[in-house]
Each structure stands twice: as C-alpha cells, then as structure tokens.
Structure 1
C-alpha cells in the first residue's frame, strides 16, 4: 500500500469514527510525532523526577535478578508445606 492509499484509508477511518475520546487520542499522537522526532519523544514527561528515576533504575536492573532454579523452588515449596502441616497439627 502506497502513501496516498494509506492516507485515504486513514481519512475514511477517521471520518467514520464517532468516539470523541479516541479522536482526541489520535490527534495527540499525530501532533506529538509531527512536532518531535521519535528520538526526542518523551512519553514519560508527566512523571515526577522521583518516579522517573525509579522507573529508569528498574529498567536497568538485571532481568534475571530475582530468578531461582527449579531445585530452589522445590526446596521453598517443601519448606512451605512443612510449615503449613505443622500449623495444621497445632
């Protein structure tokens, strides 16, 4: 599909759209991408500096930081079951 065909299809979709909230979202997205380059686009601009710092810290964390092996998981389950059965017996 060429650029002109795509524009025509988008115009049709927009012309048939009745949801004002959705139309506003589409407009905001188009304006954001027209006024800023993709590299400069900051979709997190409404976050406080503290929230942004926390989010960036979480994104930089090692993905497997909290991962345990299947053997470790089984050991945790066994301990949990043992404590559960001890509580039931009391």
Structure 2
C-alpha cells in the first residue's frame, strides 16, 4: 500500500466509548483515533470477527445532559490488541 489511502483524516483521540456487538455484553473501551468514517480501539477484551456489526456510543453526556448518538458500523481491520470500525453511511 502506498501511503495512507484513508478517505477521512484521523485524529489521535482517546475517549471512552460503549461498544455493543451481537450476543456479548457491552464493553467500555478507549479509542486510539477517530475520524468521520470510523475509529480504532485498543486493549479490547476480545477481537470481533471482521464484518461484525457494532453499535458505538461515547460515554457521558453532551451539553444540556443530552446523550450522545448511537452510531452503527462494522469491524473492518484487526490490529495488535484492538480493531478498527468503519461507520455506516446513514
């Protein structure tokens, strides 16, 4: 692969997210980076299979005690100790 061919620039950002995969309890994980198109998490207790659908929500509240939106996506890449998620385009 020549250079970084990602469609969206990545921002190194650690934030806690709640991640839900089908058939397993929710995990609270920390992101390693985030972009408009997805995110990378490290230190996952398990590594879901490629293609696994996920639901992701930032832990905490926004202004006016509003809950962050739930974003759907799929596991698209495995890295040592973690995995990348591509957000659905909806």
**What TM-score range do you get, normalising by the shorter chain?**
under 0.3
Bigger helix fraction: 1
Greater fraction strand: 2
Higher relative contact order (CA 8 A, sep 6+): 2
Q: What TM-score comes out, normalization by structure 1 length?
A: 0.18
